[in-house]
Amino acid sequence: MNLEKIDINPSNIPRHIALIMDGNGRWAKQRGEHRLFGHTKGVDAVREVLKAAKSFGVEYLTLYAFSTENWNRPQQEVDGLMSLLVDSITNELPELQKQGVKLQVIGDFKGLPETCQVSLSEGMESTKHNTEINLVLALNYSAKWEITQCVREISLKVAKNEMIIDDITPELISLHLTTKDIPDPELLIRTSGEHRISNFLLWQLAYAEFYFTETHWPDFGKEELRAAIISYQSRERRFGMVSE
C-alpha cells in the first residue's frame, strides 16, 4: 500500500499512542558520534512527534524513556540520560505550557535520582491543568515491576479485609496499575527495526495494534507518525469477535 497517497481519517485517530523510541545509539554510531548525541537528537524527535500527535488529535502519547533494565547501561550513559531528562524538562517547560501539554510520569518514581524527581514534579505540577494533550513519560518503568506492585497492593487489601478475592476483576487490576487514569493505547509504535515489546505496558497493550518501522528514533517525525496512524486506520480491530 502506498501510504503517501492516502490521508489520515480524522474520525479514526487513536486516542492513545505508545512509543518505544529505539535506535538512538545506532543512529549516532552511523554518524561516528557518541551514543548520548543520539539521545540528544532523540529529544528533538520527541518535540516534533508531540506537536504532530497534538495536531492529529491524539490525546495521550506515552514514551518509553527509561526502563528498569536501562540502569544496566554504562554509568556514563545512564548519567547522561538523567541529565538530558532534567535539562529537557527545564528547557521545554515553557513550550509544553504554550502547547497545553499535561506531563505525567509512570514508573518507579522514587527510584529516580533526586534531581529528576524534583524537575519532573515541578513539570507535572505546573502543567496539571493543561488539556490539549497528555505526555506520559515511562521512567524507571517496566511492566513486570508494575504488575508486581499491583499484585502486592491488591493482596494487601485482601489481607486487611478491605476487599475479597471475588472483587478482583480485570477492571480492578487496571485501577491498580500506574496507568489507572489513562485509557489503554490503541497503537504501539516501535522504531529501529526491532519487533519486541521489551517489558512495556504488557497489560495495557492487550488489544493494541503494533506498528514497526526501520527508522531510527532521531529520524522519526511528523510524516512517520502520519504513516503509522494511516496503517492503524487500515486495520480491522475485532477484539476477539468476528467481522460481521
Give me the catalytic one of 22, 24, 134, 140.
22
- Position 25 contacts ligand FPP (CB under 6 A): yes
Residue 184 catalytic?
Answer: no
Q: How far is the CB of 137 from ligand FPP (least distance, A)?
A: 5
Per CB under 6 A, the list member of 43, 58, 101, 136 interacting with ligand FPP is: 43
Nearest to 12 by CA among 231, 238, 239, 244: 231
**How does DSSP classify residue 70?**
G
Q: List, in sequence order, the alpha helices (H) in 176-238.
A: 222-233
C-alpha to C-alpha distance for 222 and 204, rounded to whole angstroms: 25
Residue 181 catalytic?
Answer: no
Q: How far is the CB of 203 from ligand FPP (least distance, A)?
A: 21
Per CB under 6 A, the list member of 13, 17, 42, 228 interacting with ligand FPP is: 42
Q: Quick check: helix, strand or coil at residue 140?
A: strand
Q: How far is the CB of 164 from ligand FPP (least distance, A)?
A: 41
C-alpha to C-alpha distance for 24 and 174, rounded to whole angstroms: 32
Binding mask 199-228 for ligand FPP (x = CB under 6 A): ------------------------------
Residues 6+ apart with CB under 8 A from 96: 103, 123, 127, 130, 135
Which residue number is nearest to ligand FPP in terms of Cβ?
Answer: 25
- Position 70 contacts ligand FPP (CB under 6 A): yes
Q: How far is the CB of 41 from ligand FPP (least distance, A)?
A: 8
Cell 499512542 -> residue = 17
Supply 15's cell numbers.
486516542
Enumerate the active-site residues. Answer: 22, 70
